[in-house]
Amino acid sequence: MTEVMTSADAHSDPSADPIMDIIAGATRYKIMMQCIEIGLFDEIESLGETCTAETIAKKCGYDVSVLERLLSTLASYNLLQKDCNRKGMPSYRNSSGTSKYLTRSRRPTMIGLAMSVDAMIHPLLDNLPMLLKSGKPKLDINKNVADNGNILSSSPNHQKTPNNIMDKENNMGPGSPIKQNMSSMPHIPKMPCMPKMPPNSTKMPMEKNGIDYQAKFLMAMEGFSASCASSIVKAFDLSQHRSAVDLGGGPGRISFEMANTYPHMKITVFDLPPVIQVAQKMQQPCSQGQIFFKTGNFFEDEIPSADLYLLGHVIHGFDLKGIDRLLQKVYSKLPPGGSVLVMEKILAENRTEPELAVTNDFVMTLLSQGQERTFSDYQKLFSKHGFVNVQFKHIDGLNYYDVMLLKKPF
């Protein structure tokens, strides 16, 4: 007679659960990345319907027995949906999230974001022993603020980084410090949605497939807000504003969502020249006439006038000196009653949650002198510069954003 033990009879040590989850998470991430690299999700998407392992294996030249196990694994991660066809055989299709965010035919995509973590953050973590002893980031991207107000020059070769992390010729230029250091990504097969630009002295080196590093980097930036951009722009009622400037706006994903939500609003994406050159080519046709692009450095140059400024993932990457300069500039430019929409992930007051914000706070030590902050930290920071009525809204779900709205008094 076979004895069956219930959960009341036997269970594993629950104190080991978070450890096992982290260990398993590393494997899950690596499997997902390899499937992105080989274009498996794209191949499944191109078939247009649920398909068997045999169909996929024949199309891609894979061993069917290994592929069957991989597809079942991806289904257990909810990256694929597993069904049975009319013959009773297992069949697979991309889950809605995979189809939306991990295929090259769609925008916005999270492919660039996932690859930037693999190409940059993980190698930087190899320097953790040195960081603990020196207390200095391997990439100090704020070192030029004190000298000339520029985090990184828009010229190639301005900052050399370890060869195993970034190509020495990469240009790193958007307003956010995180943005400025995520431009090196591994090779991606050709993506029709990305523009091919003729090379010149102000643009980044081209790859063989015609996709430059800057375009890949902008894809990564799209990935940050891909799942929550609509929630961000709807967190507060901004309908009273007629004009907005997205400082360090990168590819303009937040601006595009703002335009969709507030069709009366004129919006300017302000960023360094190499970023704007690509962002313009990525502009959605429906936003033309409402979204405009202007090149410049928000530390050195005059910023466009508006009654609303957007700061997405900008403040957290700078030291206090850089933040003070930027906020003073924005405050002086705003008309009385104007607003600033600040988009950052907010730490809880105990600084141990949410996990993503706490992890990002540590990751900042690898990249810059920046940091994540609690809402009370931000309140003190903004009030120091004269802003009032600071409001905060949490964006639900696993994402990189919460939202704060601050006002310049009348």
Which amino acids are annotated catalytic? 316
List, edge to edge, every strand of the sheet that includes 388-393: 291-295, 266-271, 243-247, 308-312, 339-344, 402-407, 388-393
Cα separation of 182 and 166, whole Å?
A: 9
Phi, psi of 302 (to 5 degrees): -65, 130
Respond yes or no on whether the N-terminal peptide bond of residue 354 is cis (omega within 30° of 0): yes
Integer CA distances (angstroms), 403 to 107, 232, 338, in order: 23, 7, 16
Cα separation of 106 and 100, whole Å?
A: 6
Cα separation of 359 and 181, whole Å?
A: 17
Cα separation of 115 and 104, whole Å?
A: 13
Helices (H), 77-201: 96-101, 111-116, 122-125, 128-134, 145-148, 177-180
Local structure of 268: helix, strand or coil: strand
Q: How does DSSP assign 192-209, residue by residue? A: TTS------TTSPPPPTT
